[in-house]
C-alpha cells in the first residue's frame, strides 16, 4: 500500500521516523509530510532519512512542473496516516480547513484517512475534541488509539492519550479495512498469567506476556464485536474499545469470565493459568527458615472446564503448550474440556517462547483433525481464530 505518513506537532512526533520504518518493514511504500509545528519535535533530516525520500516541506507546495503537491500526494497515496495526530490537526480537518499539508491533502481526496491521536488526557476527553473525532468518523476516517500509558507533560504520570507504539500501529492497520463480521457478537477473552500468592509478597506464576490475548481482543473489537478482556498481570498497553477486567488469581479470573459467559458467543481462553496455589496462603510475609522448605500445593479451578460444562451457544477456543505428542495431547484436552478447537504451540520451537510477537500454531479439533499454520504475527493468528469460529457458529 502507498502510505503518506503525516506528522503533526506533538511530542510523539519523535516516534514518527520509527512508524515510517515499521511501515516499510511491513511492505508499504512510505512518503512523509509534516506540519510546521512538527519540526519543533522532530527534524526534517530524520524524517527524510526514515522516508528515504524528500519530504513534503514547508515551502514546496508546488512542484517544478506546476503540479500542486497536496493534489499529487493525494493521488499517490492509498492512505493518509496521521501519527501523531494533535488536537489541532483533528480540529483543522474536522473544520475542512486547507492551511496545512494534512488538512489540504484530505480535502484533495486521499482515499483513506487514519488518525493516531496523542495528547494529554484532559485534552483527549474535552467535548470539543470528542466532537471533532465524531465528525471525522462520520466521514469514514479510522482511529487507532490513543492508549493508556505514560504521558509527556511533567508530573502528568499515566493516563489515556499516549500514542500507540509504532509496531502496534502497523499491526492494527489491517483491522481498519476488515469487514465487521463479528458485529452483534459478544466475545470473551482471557489473557496473560495468573498469580497465586504464597504470602503478601511472593507468588506462583509464569512468564506469559498477555500478547496473544490482547491481540485476540483487539482483532475481535476491530471486527465489530463487543469484547470483554479478562487479563492477568501484564504490562501491555490496554487495547482500546474493549471492556477490561484486571485480575490476579485463577479464582478471580474464573469469576470475571463467569459473569459474562452465559451471554457470550465466543470464548477465547489464551490465559496461562497457574495450576497450583499454596494450600495455606499466609497473610503475613514469611521469613526464610532452614536450607529447605516444603510447600503444599492444591489445584486452582480449571476455568475453561468449569465454563465449558455449562456451554450452550458458545464457541469455546483454548490454547495448549506442549513439548511432545502435541496434536494427540491437544485433541485430548479439547475433548475433555469441551472446546470447539484448540490452538497448539510448542514452546521449544525457535521464536515461540513466551512474550514474542509471532508464533507458530497448529489448530487442532477434538477429533484430532489438525491444520498447521506457518509462523505469523499473533494478530494474524487471532484473525484466523475468528475466521474458524465464525465457520463453526
- Could you give the residue numbers annotated as active site? 206
Question: Cβ distance 114 to 142 under 8 Å?
Answer: yes
CB of 322 to ligand CTP, least distance (A): 7
CB of 300 to ligand CTP, least distance (A): 5
DSSP for 106-142? Answer: HHTT-S-EEEEE---HHHHHSHHHHHHHHHHHHTT-E
Which residue of 273, 344, 361, 364 would you call a contact of ligand CTP, by CB under 6 A? 273
Question: Cβ distance 208 to 253 under 8 Å?
Answer: no
Question: Cβ distance 35 to 7 under 8 Å?
Answer: yes
SS3 for 208?
coil
269 binds ligand CTP (CB under 6 A): yes
Which residue of 13, 80, 108, 304 would you call a contact of ligand CTP, by CB under 6 A? 304
CB of 350 to ligand CTP, least distance (A): 21
CB of 319 to ligand CTP, least distance (A): 4
CB of 271 to ligand CTP, least distance (A): 5
Question: Cβ distance 123 to 162 under 8 Å?
Answer: no
Site for ligand CTP in 231-250 (CB under 6 A): 250
- Name the segment binding ligand CTP (CB under 6 A); options: 65-73, 146-154, 302-310, 349-357: 302-310
Q: How many helices (H) and strands (E) does the chain have?
A: 13, 21
Distance CA 97, CA 110 (A): 15
For the purposes of burial, counting CB atoms within 10 Å of the CB of 154, is it exposed (0-12), middle (13-18) or buried (19 or more)? Answer: exposed
Question: Closest CB to ligand CTP among 79 and 273?
Answer: 273
- Of 206, 327, 225, give the one whose Cα is nearest residue 268: 225
Residues in the interface with ligand CTP (CB under 6 A) total: 13
- Name the segment binding ligand CTP (CB under 6 A); options: 37-45, 295-303, 357-365, 368-376: 295-303
CB of 88 to ligand CTP, least distance (A): 45
117 binds ligand CTP (CB under 6 A): no
Which residue of 275, 276, 278, 346 would you call a contact of ligand CTP, by CB under 6 A? 275
- Of 239, 85, 234, give the one whose Cα is nearest residue 175: 239
- Name the segment binding ligand CTP (CB under 6 A); options: 1-9, 92-100, 258-266, 299-307: 299-307
161 binds ligand CTP (CB under 6 A): no
256 binds ligand CTP (CB under 6 A): no
Which residue of 271, 363, 382, 385 would you call a contact of ligand CTP, by CB under 6 A? 271
Question: Closest CB to ligand CTP among 175 and 208?
Answer: 208
**Grid coordinates 493521488 are at which residue?**
75
Distance CA 232, CA 217 (A): 14
Residue 374: partners with Cβ closer than 8 Å, 6 or more residues away: 360
Beta pairing, strands 2-7 & 29-34: parallel
Please state whether the peptide bond connecting residue 357 to the residue before it is cis, i.e. omega within 30 degrees of 0. no
Here's the x/- map for ligand CTP, 316-345, by CB under 6 A: it reads as --xxx------------x------------
Which residue of 302, 311, 357, 375 would you call a contact of ligand CTP, by CB under 6 A? 302
**Grid coordinates 503475613 are at which residue?**
284
Question: Closest CB to ligand CTP among 103 and 300?
Answer: 300
- Name the segment binding ligand CTP (CB under 6 A); options: 146-154, 281-289, 296-304, 355-363: 296-304
Question: Closest CB to ligand CTP among 30 and 268?
Answer: 268
285: DSSP letter: P
CB of 309 to ligand CTP, least distance (A): 12
For the purposes of burial, counting CB atoms within 10 Å of the CB of 99, is it exposed (0-12), middle (13-18) or buried (19 or more)? Answer: exposed
319: DSSP letter: E
Q: Which residues bind ligand CTP (CB under 6 A)?
A: 250, 269, 271, 273, 275, 300, 302-304, 318-320, 333
Amino acid at each position: 500500500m502507498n502510505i503518506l505518513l503525516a506528522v503533526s506537532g506533538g511530542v510523539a512526533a519523535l516516534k514518527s521516523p520509527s512508524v515510517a520504518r515499521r511501515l516499510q518493514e511491513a511492505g508499504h511504500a512510505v512518503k512523509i509530510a509534516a506540519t510546521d509545528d512538527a519540526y519543533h519535535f522532530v527534524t526534517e533530516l530524520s524524517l527524510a532519512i526514515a522516508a528515504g525520500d524528500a519530504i513534503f516541506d514547508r515551502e514546496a507546495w508546488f512542484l517544478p512542473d506546476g503540479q500542486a503537491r497536496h493534489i499529487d500526494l493525494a493521488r499517490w497515496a492509498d492512505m493518509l496516516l496521521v501519527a501523531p495526530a494533535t488536537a489541532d490537526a483533528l480540529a483543522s480537518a474536522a473544520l475542512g480547513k486547507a492551511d496545512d499539508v494534512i488538512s489540504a491533502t484530505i480535502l484533495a481526496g486521499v482515499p483513506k484517512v487514519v488518525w493516531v491521536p496523542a495528547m494529554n488526557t484532559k485534552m483527549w476527553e474535552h467535548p470539543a475534541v470528542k466532537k471533532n473525532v465524531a465528525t471525522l468518523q462520520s466521514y469514514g476516517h479510522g482511529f487507532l488509539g490513543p492508549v493508556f500509558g505514560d504521558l509527556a507533560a511533567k508530573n502528568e504520570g499515566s493516563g489515556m492519550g499516549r500514542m500507540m507504539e509504532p509496531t502496534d500501529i502497523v499491526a492494527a492497520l489491517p483491522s481498519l479495512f476488515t469487514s465487521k463480521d463479528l458485529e452483534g457478537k459478544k466475545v470473551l477473552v482471557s489473557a496473560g498469567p495468573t498469580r497465586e500468592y504464597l504470602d503478601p509478597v511472593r507468588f506462583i506464576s509464569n512468564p506469559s506476556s498477555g500478547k496473544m490475548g490482547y491481540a485476540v481482543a483487539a482483532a475481535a473489537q476491530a471486527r465489530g464485536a463487543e469484547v470483554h478482556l479478562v487479563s492477568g498481570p501484564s504490562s501491555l498497553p490496554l487495547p482500546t474499545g474493549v471492556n477490561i477486567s484486571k485480575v490476579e488469581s485463577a479464582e478471580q479470573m474464573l469469576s470475571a469470565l463467569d459473569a459474562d459467559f452465559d451471554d457470550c458467543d465466543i470464548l477465547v481462553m489464551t490465559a496461562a493459568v497457574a495450576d497450583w496455589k499454596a494450600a495455606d496462603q499466609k497473610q503475613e510475609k514469611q521469613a526464610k527458615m532452614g536450607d529447605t522448605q516444603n510447600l503444599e500445593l492444591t489445584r486452582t479451578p480449571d476455568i475453561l472446564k468449569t465454563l465449558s460444562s455449562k456451554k450452550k451457544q458458545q464457541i469455546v477456543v483454548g490454547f495448549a503448550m506442549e513439548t511432545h505428542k502435541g496434536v494427540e495431547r491437544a485433541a485430548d484436552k479439547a475433548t475433555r474440556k469441551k472446546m470447539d478447537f484448540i490452538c497448539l504451540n510448542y514452546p521449544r520451537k525457535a521464536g515461540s517462547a513466551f512474550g514474542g510477537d509471532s508464533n507458530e500454531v497448529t489448530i487442532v479439533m477434538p477429533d484430532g483433525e489438525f491444520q498447521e499454520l506457518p509462523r505469523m504475527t499473533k494478530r494474524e493468528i487471532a484473525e484466523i481464530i475468528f475466521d474458524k469460529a465464525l465457520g463453526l457458529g
